[in-house]
Structure 1
């Protein structure tokens, strides 16, 4: 008989806490491990309206959540990617689509075939080969058919725009139906033994909660992982200068589009996230180049619709805990660290951390090698996303403000510098198993920033130029034909998953 855990306590609710409770209550069903969530009524969820990535669908499926019910309960809209406005230069846009771009040809990466076609004089842009990008351009959407034989329908992916407060509320109700214990109280003291294991937490209602394992979802403060276990923090501010955000919500002034908009501004960038019931807006900026008052004014000038709340300043430090899992404590969400929401990876990192944790789920022996391997894997995920976000700043073409001039000569990690060097030579982008951002994602950003390799793969010269052009032209026609048969994004939502009318944030 193995030394199996019997109890698990999640400290903190919000999106991270209730995602953990939802997924674990599904995966651990039948294990007799008791899950308890301690949720403070005094601490508000940061929830500013979330933009997600396609792994949210994996979380929904693994958690045995009804997809339609989830969309309706969270005022969600569909997301096919991110449109980046004014990053390379003012009045220029590019798009980062979800899913595949193009159709690989005879085993060769499609990007290499496209590079050859460009060298041969073809002028069809990269994004014309992305089903998701073309769908976004035409504001079309439909759920991808299961096991479709049509390569276009099999190639796109989607995520959601959703209301973070409503997500936490929906998941909380679901968890309580599944037998998760919820305690509404605030943790006042954390009891740690001589081996630096957490034994219990004392609450403001006088109760003490003991558990064999704890998950810290207490936000930036890291009440368990940092204030009690003191694991330390790895600061990445030298690479990513933005350290504040201002957020507000507005009424919708048009039908929601199936993509996020990230617009470069004087000292950072603004987001626009369209939900069914409202629009989320924010400005991520560097305080050394911009005051809070300037940031608020910039954001107010950029939004449309009626303001639903006052602008809220959110300070942050970019980086991560030196250990995401230490002894009998795992940390999730903002308690783990913060990477600015440029590529909408916050919820993805919560889910990915949980996936690694489930794979390396401990028993009461708490094997150190198991914990160490988990930390290696999640550290690699954080580093990959960090480098991908840095890519946007370090390759931006703008130099019209002090902030963007700083980005022209900003420090870049060697891991990213090497990747860009290899790409510039001949379009090589090594992709290892487990990495989140595909080669197509990297190509989309680099092409958007007007960075193109000097050469393509030499074996592509074995392809007949005219035959290649014919094949690529057919790909574009296939995408256009398939997309124009799809319903309008707004019409699709209204017909299949319109938000619950009694919903309040």
Structure 2
């Protein structure tokens, strides 16, 4: 089978490494078409833990990857001013607490918290406390210690990441073809070939559209359709600018609420990534740029650039013999660092359903589209919850709190309100820990608690919860500074 990937950047080269490693040894051919004259968005610098699974599948060495991309470690995301202008909380990776008397830690903690017998949730998260205090270590071998279950991801330079992946892909036999696509030739299967400006024709069995917002194949040629989500997530602009590196970067991403959106701050080893996501209905591009520049710490290293986007996804991610990945498939603001994960998820589902030739059966295509739509929807609902559960005074935020929310999210909030229950759908990205951190961090309403917790006297539950905090505190003392891990990468 011949696979043609149209577009480079993070999505294109992630696909190229995957197909190069897994398909080329089976006799397939993989060609990636990209043009040096077309810039990539290239600001997706923060990730979530599943990327480690993806890298392991592709045989990517962690230290080599981090060294090549200016990478640092990430233990979670700190949300500043989302629930209230003076409050913040961390959405941590990893596990919080352990089950108590047959009930989940979340259920027992909520009950104890309501009784005034427990501290804020972050006190029981090793990742949250390590992130706030600038500590990091990889999981140790001892399975009984919280230090063995540390969940982490990365920050890295997206342009360097694409370059790193390109070297990996070409080492696996992927062929890069320089040129701009000027015509898409259609055929019975969907797409027959792409034609480049210099006259080259590149035919294939399966086409992967990684052409970014332009979506040259999936939309331009095949008219897959667009599901618009701007009514739920109205931010439609971002301003991005790099600044000088922190002397001692924290292993967390910062998401800082602003009058008409939010700012990100992502610490790399060689620089800091900064951006301001906002709604142009509430703030002009000039105002948003000024707001970003006023908030950066350190020296700006380039001129700010504006990125315009629409939130939503293709109605068909897979059409005929074409599959869209990355920005060609859809876009949601990087509030929970899910952009690269959606590329990874799309690739992994595609590899599981890969046809013997470029033409898949309708049942396979329909399932892929259903699975990817569900993934987008569940992430969308998690993002919308951040906006809905706010107590900020500005016009933008009051409108977000009052706006209708998706049905699935409304059900989740209602279930949490009724006794603090959190239910995770099959294959849902965000687990109970993530929802608990979000809902409690943003002061979601909860009435009562799980009645089964009453089987354990509140004093005993509070004692067990206090013991968990003590274990976390003791474990934290064994974690070295994040700067030590970064210095080791610099030394090679």
Q: Normalising TM by the smaller chain, what interval?
A: over 0.9
**Contact 1:131 1:155 (8 Å CA) reproduced:** no
Alignment of structure 1 residues 76-475 onto 2, 5 Å = 76-146=71-141, 148-193=142-187, 195=188, 197-364=190-357, 365-399=359-393, 401-475=394-468
Within the candidate set 8, 13, 22, 1:13 is matched to 8
Q: Distance in 2 between matches of 1:445 and 1:39?
A: 39
Number of the residue aligned with 1:503: none
* 1:485 maps onto 2:478 in alignment: yes
Tell me how far 1:109 sits from its aligned partner: 1.6
SS of 2:400's equivalent in the other structure is helix
CA distance in 1, matches of 2:149, 2:429: 16
Report SS of the residue matched to 1:183. Answer: strand
- Aligned-pair CA distance for 1:467: 2.1
CA distance in 2, matches of 1:465, 1:155: 28
What residue number does 1:28 align with? 23
Please give the alpha-carbon distance, in whole angstroms, between the structure 2 residues aligned to 1:107 and 1:452. 25
**2:490 equivalent in structure 1:** 498
**Cα pair 1:49 1:161 within 8 Å, conserved:** no
Superposition TM-score, scaled by structure 2 size: 0.98
User: Aligned partners of 2:110 and 2:399: how far apart in 1?
Assistant: 31
SS in 2 for 1:476: helix
Inter-partner Cα distance in structure 2 for 1:151 and 1:351: 30
Structure-2 residue corresponding to 1:65: 60
Cα distance in 2 between the residues matched to 1:489 and 1:174:
28
Tell whether the 8 Å contact from 2:70 to 2:269 is kept in structure 1 after alignment.
yes
Q: Which ranges in structure 1 are unaligned for 5 or more consecutive residues?
A: 1-5, 501-505
Name 2:40's counterpart in structure 1.
Answer: 45
Deviation at 1:205, TM superposition (A): 1.7
Render the CA deviation track for 1:165-205: whole Å, top value 9, x for unaligned. Answer: 00000000111111111111111100012x46100010112
SS of aligned partner of 1:35: strand
List per-residue Cα deviations over 1:263-288 (Å, max 9, x = no partner).
10011000000000000000000001
Q: Distance in 2 between matches of 1:108 and 1:367?
A: 45
Count of residues in Structure 1 that have an aligned counterpart in Structure 2: 491
- The Cα of 1:119 is off from its aligned counterpart by 3.5
Distance in 2 (alpha carbons) for counterparts of 1:196 and 1:293: 46
- Superposition RMSD in Å: 1.3
How far the C-alpha of 1:362 sits from its partner, in A, is: 1.4
**8 Å contact from structure 1 (residues 187, 204) kept in 2:** yes
Summarize deviations over 1:477-499 as a string: whole Å, max 9, x none: 1111111111100112102x128
Please tell me whether the aligned partners of residues 49 and 280 of structure 1 are also in contact (alpha carbons under 8 angstroms): no
> How far is the alpha carbon of 1:404 from its aligned partner?
1.1
